[in-house]
Chains A and B, each alone.
Chain A
């Protein structure tokens, strides 16, 4: 045997000792963090946030004590939950016809209602001139739809599709529109994203869809949310970091990074994420206070800035994002909290409707192959010329 276990075991003992010590230290810091959160008041937090402007990390806006918790409301007797999700096939440059596909899937699950639950999906194929985003007036200005642009159109397409489903929903019972992932389209604010893409995604799709949902919420019991499982965000931890910080902006920039702080007392929350502190704070079913995103993209969201809360669903701490008009309406906020929680309970830790929407949207390997095969079959029927690349041929027919 080439491994000297006697030598290795000493190192392993050292590593596990450090890991245990670090774990105990972290647990103690989480407990202390929760204590500080419980002592904070809305006025203190709001005052502190007003006094800072430039820090090397992103924090959550808050107007109430960080340690505030809320119980869910009573579950409505009859209600529905609608959800959408998307999947796409990117442009394959080895295919004879450049084309892309976005498949949006969704469901409306009805609880204690006479009407049946519904499942649906809607594929949209982009090809030819349709593969270019174009400016309204300047015809020279255009962006090819592929890669991350296609991904952004898909994400915002899910929101648009959900708004259409909810608009057509006829029953008078409460309904929750629930999506997977984040409502904060941070990719759109990333470097190198053309204005044209930003305009299509935010101004021409996201904002109109949210306007429609906001108007609907004025006439019926409607919750809108997105659910993030096992969130890795640190927005609230960073707000606590600010609350504890006694330094001015300039000094902080020299002592803190996005991930951690070198000075006390801010280093209390080093290597802790939001879900760690809410796992210690929230009992099963409870939600946290409402926080608001301070992501730069929020400047383009108009009346639909995104707020969020954390919820202990009994299996995990989930992050629930809602538009501010839901966060500011106690009835719709409570409905959203209650129905998201119920969905997680019914789905054994993850919202049922979101899972089912995913099943409707997902494109399997065989779906992708079938899509390509259909294109090639049409070409072989004489619809178009066959100029598949030899690289593609070699992948399809790896002959010996």
Chain B
């Protein structure tokens, strides 16, 4: 597994064993929903399950400003301070961690540190994750993960690895086992994966 790092895209601001929340360095530039990210020097791997943009100061309500603007861009041109006072954050559910330079699927023994840098994962890390379906079990067990997010995750991974077909077949089989007795739910997910 390569440890090659690019520029960090975010920084951890909240973390526990199951999830971590990170603040992006650039407004409206989060990793895509369902993508794999890693946090910290001894990386904790997580799947992006939610993206939020809000004010930096929670006590300041955000008000509509476009009453005289003709485009959305104009609102930001007229109010450049917004670029510095708003921030984009995302939540990731932990699906693995690094041990002896290997990606182990499962919850980490400790969460990433606050202020840990968050990077987008490299193709070889996605391949490591896709080599096993344990993360699907983790995601299905998490109450915050909706089926749409699971689907987005599987599609996202399949688009970035070489053996796409093999990965999706294995994922489908895992889902069939995990969702025994939930035929309509399973079919809905599989229909999405076929698209």
Q: Which residues of A contact B (CB under 8 A)?
A: 107, 109-112, 116-119, 346, 348, 352, 356, 359
Contact = CB atoms under 8 A, between A and B. Distances in A.
A160 to B, nearest CB: 23
B181 interface: no
A107 B77 contact: no
Given A111-B77, A117-B81, 18 more contacts: A109-B81, A110-B80, A111-B78, A111-B80, A112-B77, A116-B80, A116-B83, A116-B84, A117-B84, A119-B85, A346-B78, A346-B79, A348-B63, A348-B65, A352-B79, A352-B81, A356-B85, A359-B57
Interface in B58-108: 60, 63, 65, 77-81, 83-85
Contact of A107 (B78, B79, B81): B81
Contact of A117 (B60, B63, B65, B80): B80
20 contacts: A109-B80, A109-B81, A110-B80, A111-B77, A111-B78, A111-B80, A116-B83, A116-B84, A117-B80, A117-B83, A117-B84, A119-B84, A346-B78, A346-B79, A348-B63, A352-B81, A356-B81, A356-B85, A359-B57, A359-B60
Interface residues of B, number: 12
Contacts of A107: 81
Contacts of A356: 81, 85
B157 to A, nearest CB: 35
A144 to B, nearest CB: 35
Contacts of A346: 78-79
Interface string B19-35: 00000000000000000
Nearest to B79: A346
What 9 A-B pairs come out closest when comparing CB atoms?
A: A109-B81, A117-B81, A117-B80, A117-B84, A356-B81, A109-B80, A110-B80, A346-B78, A111-B80
A360 to B, nearest CB: 10
A364 B77 CA distance: 31
A352 B79 CA distance: 9
A56 B29 CA distance: 63
B54 to A, nearest CB: 16
A110 B76 CA distance: 12
Nearest to B63: A348
A178 to B, nearest CB: 14
B80 to A, nearest CB: 5
B77 to A, nearest CB: 7
Contacts of A111: 77-78, 80
B64 to A, nearest CB: 10
A92 to B, nearest CB: 25
B137 to A, nearest CB: 43
A83 to B, nearest CB: 11
A114 to B, nearest CB: 11
A221 B77 CA distance: 21
Contacts of A348: 63, 65
A369 to B, nearest CB: 16
Nearest to B78: A346
B143 to A, nearest CB: 32
Q: Which of B57, B63, B80, B83 has the most CB of A within 10 A?
A: B80
Nearest to A118: B84
Contacts of A110: 80
A352 B81 CA distance: 9
Contacts of B78: 111, 346
A111 B80 CA distance: 6
Contacts of B80: 109-111, 116-117
Q: Which of B65, B77, B81, B83 has the most CB of A within 10 A?
A: B81
Q: Which of B57, B60, B63, B84 has the most CB of A within 10 A?
A: B84
Contacts of A112: 77
Contacts of A117: 80-81, 83-84
Contacts of B60: 359
A285 to B, nearest CB: 13
B173 to A, nearest CB: 50
A151 to B, nearest CB: 25
A248 to B, nearest CB: 53
A346 B76 CA distance: 11
B98 to A, nearest CB: 35
B100 to A, nearest CB: 41
Q: Which of A112, A117, A352 has the most CB of B within 10 A?
A: A117
Nearest to A109: B81
Nearest to B82: A117
Interface string B131-142: 000000000000
Contacts of B79: 346, 352
A366 to B, nearest CB: 11
Contacts of A352: 79, 81
A359 B85 CA distance: 11
B166 to A, nearest CB: 46
A95 to B, nearest CB: 27
A121 to B, nearest CB: 13
A116 B81 CA distance: 8
B84 to A, nearest CB: 5
